[in-house]
Structure formats: structure tokens, C-alpha cells
Structure 1
Amino acid sequence: MKVLLVSESPVAGTILKFSEALNRVSGIDCTPFVLKGYKNNSFDIDFGVMSVFENWPQLLSDRAREADVIIMHNIADNNIVELVMAYKKTNSFIGYHYHSPPFEAPLYTYSVLKQHPFDAIFCVAQGHARFVENAIPVANIIEDINLVEGGYRRNSVFLGHLRTTDARWSSKVPRGFYETLLKELKRSAVSVYDIKKLYGSETVSNKIFINGLQSFSYVVDDVCSGLFHQTSLEALKSGCITFSAADEISLESFCSAAECPKPPFEQVGSPGEVIDRIEFYSRRANFLNKHIEENFSYSSKYLTKERLGNLFTKKLLHMLS
């Protein structure tokens, strides 16, 4: 069975990981077709980007013609969707997998979903199913963390945001949150870092980013929208106390897709609670260490790259049978 995964970007590295998981299954030949990388090259694309070829539309149409299963990931350009639809086999399965909330920069919308008869619509299982009726949540495959033996964990909080906006579903922290943390946590001797302060640059590759998470006690991903993001799960796998305002819709969606109990996020109802909890843990090292160990235990049971990859392939093959 030939599977084609099509995207305009690496989609936070998920295309490569889904492709790897599918190619581990006997009888499946999965080809990723990614048009462009991100401007900051934050995710490696081992197989290269296809837009460098002047005849990429021909290459895409040829692969669509051969594929038994086609899944488009976060494609907003209707011309690409129409090209695939025009050349796909009449009996092929064609799905769409969205990874972004509405109006995430650069103004992502779901308009293509209303214009084409997809056989199934998938979404990242982090609360995003609420945006499209009958969307099927799929847990992202999270990279395993190479833990550094003997590495020192700072009594510090990391705001590892590559991007956050003022849009309703992309506003991860309120304006001035970094400055507020700096001011309020001085009395607790807890430092606050963002990517620029930690690495000396505006952005770094995802591999460097996730390796750095384990050097922190606390990570803040999203304490505003009710969703959660890949950074939250990467932080759990790194052992960090992970502050989240994920609502019940988001948590239930993930637990259903990943077949697991609720992740041990440090649930907060407001940015002010983040400060209170950090001050609590900074004075009680035994509670901090216990929570870190709970995060490692949960991650080793439920968040391994192999397990999440197997769940994805099982769900897809069940739909196709």
C-alpha cells in the first residue's frame, strides 16, 4: 500500500515522524512530500523540500496518481488540494490532518475543508477537535529525549515560545508575562528564561530546544487558550513541571487518542497561579523532585515515540480496513 503525506511545511516535524511510523509497518510504502521548510529551519527535513524543483506540481501529481492513501497536513493553499484531487486514483482514500487553531499566523483557516470531499478529517489531539465537526483526534508523535546524565536542573522557569500571537486560540501567555515573572519571582530567587536569553539567538532547532528543556525545573507553554501544544509533552518527557491551562475538552481528546490517563501537567487557572506554584515548589524540594519523577514515569509508559507511532498506524489501518 502506497501512502502519500503532503504538506506545505514540516508541521513541527510531524510529517517525518508519521512517515517513519508508517514505514515500520510491513507492506506500507510511505512518501512525505513537503514543499518548504520554516524560515528559521527549526525542523530538519531529511528528505529535502520539493519546491526547489521547478516541476514540483508534476512530481506531486505523479505521486498522487500512484498513492492508495493520501493525507494532506495543514495545507491552506487550495491550488495544492485541487492538484491532488485532480490526479488521485478514483478509489484512493484521501484525508486532511489539521494541526493549527483558527487564525494562527499566517492566518490559517479551515476553508479548504468545506470545498473538498475528504474521506476523513484528522486533527492534533490537543483540543483542536472542537473547531471542526467530526474531526478525528490523533496524538502527535513526540521525539524521545536523550537525557544528559548528571545534568544540573536550574531552579528556573523556561518560556520556550517560538511563536505566540494575540489571536484567541494562539495566545499562549498574556502580554508582559515574561516581565511579570521576572519581577514577581525575584524574592524566590527563581530565574526566568526565554529562548533568546538561554541560547543567545531568536530561535534554535527543535533538537537543540528539546535537549535544553531538561535543564529547567519549570516550563510554561500555554496558560491562556485552553489548548496545549507539543512543547508541553516534550517538557513532560524532560521531567519538567509543566504549567498548563488545558481544559477538559483538550485533555479528554488527548487521553482518548493516546489511550492514557490525563498527563500530569501542573494545572493552573490563571497566570498568577503559575507564580504561586513556582514559589511553592521552590521552597519544597521534596515535592518538586517527586513531581519530576512522576513526569518521567508517565512519559515512559505513555509518551514514547514508538508507542505513539503505533497508535497512529493502528488508527489509520483500522479506518482503511
Structure 2
Amino acid sequence: MSDYPKPLSGSFTSSGVYWDRRPNKDSGLAVELIKNADVIHIHNAVYRVVCDEIYELNPTASYVFQTHSGLREGPLYFDATEMMGLPFKRFFTIAQAYPRLYQNYEPVPNIISFPANPEPALIEGGRPRVLFSPTHSRKARWGGKGSKVLEETLTSLSSLGRIEYVRPKSFLTPYELFSLRKTCQISVDEIITGGFHQVSLEALGAGTVCVNGSDYFSNLSFMSCLGSLDEPPFFRVTEDDCVERMTDLVSSPDLILKYQQESLRFFDNYLRPEKLVSIYAQKYEELLQ
């Protein structure tokens, strides 16, 4: 319905249909899609006036609500579905840390549509390339991504010549960032919440070691959603053991390669887009039966 401001504008809407509700704007295709939909899937929150318009266009569709994570830790404050007034039949949340917050919601996966790396990038020049590029530095119990301990550890390892610390100095589109990630051996998500984010899924698809602090419950919700008996090959790091764990990792090329190969294997077995889309398709089909 609206795009991100620059520099993100266009990064997520190029493959979508834009519904511009301003007067004299041509949004006929979006309106027709709403009218003809069997399922209407609302993500995070939509203003009540828009929900009323959607329902007026299509009162017979099956409505699904999906929450991801609120910027202000939404589960602690209010139920977003109450303000939208739509007759939701199913409730989804992303299968990471959030099922513990939305205990009556069904876990569903994020989908990485970028082509996976065919082979992991090998270490050149004796130093592994480590990518850490958090999207924000906000402090939040479940949405935080930055860590002073982690940044100091990576900076020290770089200064000692143990790693090549890859930090983009300018904005990169999601595809450009994924392309850069495929040239690295280690991707760092976040180590402070006990959860993980889309970076971890991209790290697996890029064939890198996926460093995060994902705990037992986050891993279990992820595995349950995927129907997996295999644990995701995350290299778990916390602020308490960050220096030791990262030093051990970057000191062992064999360990790095092992995790890289396991990342690609897990992605191929469980995270290819067609497999994840089928999870949603099955849930939609159940609504229509």
C-alpha cells in the first residue's frame, strides 16, 4: 500500500502490486485481485478504514492474520487483530522466537527467494570473510540486533589479522547484500535475544557459517514448522562466550567448511522456496475445504 522511504524504496515492491488509495490513482489491478481472492492474508497490521474497504470489496474470502514482530514489542501491548475488525479464521506467526509470544498462533516460515550458492566460498589468503551488517541498532527484548561485545570482538579479530571484517559502507539492496554474503565464509545475525532473523536463513542459503544466539525454543519452533528432525546448523554464540566462540571458529578452517556445507545441505533439504510455499498452500487449501 505504500513503499519504504529511500534508500529502501523499490527494494521490496518491484515484484508486488501497488494499491494506491489516493484519489485519481489507478489501482484497478489491486482492487480486482482483492475482489477475486479466495484467501486474503494480512501481514502485521492494516488501518481499520482500509480493512473495512477490503471487506466491502470481498466479504466472502477467508481471512488470515500473520504477525512477525512489532517494532515496539507489540505482543506486550495490544492484540492488533482487535482493531482491524476482520473475521480472521487462522492466525500465523514467524517460526523463530515469536511462537513463545503468540502461543495460540501457527508457526509459518519466512521465505528466501534468492538462489542458493551452489558451493560454499572457500577461504582465500588464510583469513575467513565475516559479514555483520545489522539493519538497525534499536534496543528491544526480541527485536534487538546490535551487540557492543560482538562488534568489539569482530573488530579485534580484524585488527589481529584473523578475519576480513566485511561491513558495507553504503546501502545495499537485499539482493546485493545476499550476493555479497555468498562471497563470505561466516555470516553473523544477532546474539542477544535467543532468537534469530531472516539473516540466518540467508546465511544458510549463501553457504556460510550462520552465527546467532538462537536458543532451544527458537530452534524447536523452526524445526516444527519445517517438519524437520534435523536441528538447524547454527553456530550458537552469546555475549557471555562471544570472544571464545568466535576465536575458536575463525581459528579452524575445517570447522568453518563443515558448517558451510551443513548450511547448504539444510537449506536444500528444508528451505527451498517451493517447499516453503507448499506449507502456506496447504494451510490455504484447508481453509477452502
State the TM-score, normalized to the length of structure 2. 0.83
Unaligned runs of 5+ in 2: none
Q: 2:145–2:190: 8 Å Cα contact kept in structure 1?
A: yes
- 1:97 to 2:78 alignment: no
Match of 1:241 in 2: 209
Instruction: Give, in whole Å, the separation in 2 of the partners of 1:208 and 1:130.
Output: 33
What's the CA shift for 1:49? 2.5
After superposition, the CA RMSD in angstroms is 3.0
Secondary structure of the corresponding residue to residue 317 of structure 1: helix
Secondary structure of the corresponding residue to residue 182 of structure 1: helix
What's the CA shift for 1:54? 3.1
Aligned length: 280
Deviates more, 1:254-263 or 1:62-71: 62-71
Match of 1:305 in 2: 273
Q: 1:188–1:282: 8 Å Cα contact kept in structure 2?
A: no
Change (3 A) 1:108 1:134: closer
- 1:208 to 2:176 alignment: yes
What's the CA shift for 1:304? 0.9
Deviation per CA, 1:24-78, whole angstroms, max 9, x where unpaired? Answer: xxxxxxxxxx432453233352245322853569856665443322111122433
Change (3 A) 1:65 1:281: closer
Match of 1:31 in 2: none
Instruction: Give, in whole Å, the separation in 2 of the partners of 1:139 and 1:130.
Output: 15
- 1:178 to 2:148 alignment: no
1:49 to 18, 38, 43: 18
1:192 to 165, 170, 192: 165
Q: 2:21–2:27: 8 Å Cα contact kept in structure 1?
A: no
Identity within the alignment, %: 24
Match of 1:131 in 2: 101
2:235 to 224, 249, 266: 266
Instruction: Give, in whole Å, the separation in 2 of the partners of 1:150 and 1:71.
Output: 36
Secondary structure of the corresponding residue to residue 227 of structure 1: coil
Instruction: Give, in whole Å, the separation in 2 of the partners of 1:274 and 1:157.
Output: 14
- Paired letter, 1:78: R
Instruction: Give, in whole Å, the separation in 1 of the partners of 2:104 and 2:40.
Output: 19
Instruction: Give, in whole Å, the separation in 2 of the partners of 1:283 and 1:231.
Output: 23
- 1:35 to 2:2 alignment: yes
Match of 1:88 in 2: 58
Change (3 A) 1:79 1:109: farther
Change (3 A) 1:220 1:110: farther
Match of 2:135 in 1: 162
Secondary structure of the corresponding residue to residue 88 of structure 2: coil
Change (3 A) 1:148 1:57: same
- Paired letter, 1:186: S
Instruction: Give, in whole Å, the separation in 1 of the partners of 2:264 and 2:82.
Output: 42
Q: 2:117–2:207: 8 Å Cα contact kept in structure 1?
A: no
What's the CA shift for 1:110? 5.2
Secondary structure of the corresponding residue to residue 241 of structure 2: helix
- 1:72 to 2:42 alignment: yes
Match of 1:17 in 2: none
- Paired letter, 1:183: S
Change (3 A) 1:229 1:38: farther
Q: 1:185–1:279: 8 Å Cα contact kept in structure 2?
A: no
Match of 1:112 in 2: 80
- Paired letter, 1:122: F
Match of 1:229 in 2: 197
Change (3 A) 1:123 1:205: same
Instruction: Give, in whole Å, the separation in 2 of the partners of 1:44 and 1:184.
Output: 38
Instruction: Give, in whole Å, the separation in 1 of the partners of 2:37 and 2:119.
Output: 45
What's the CA shift for 1:263? 0.8
Q: 2:65–2:92: 8 Å Cα contact kept in structure 1?
A: yes
Change (3 A) 1:133 1:81: farther
Q: 1:147–1:211: 8 Å Cα contact kept in structure 2?
A: no
Match of 1:8 in 2: none
What's the CA shift for 1:94? 0.8
Q: 2:116–2:207: 8 Å Cα contact kept in structure 1?
A: no
- Paired letter, 1:45: S
Q: 1:161–1:195: 8 Å Cα contact kept in structure 2?
A: no
Q: Which is strand-richer, 1 or 2?
A: 1
What's the CA shift for 1:211? 1.1
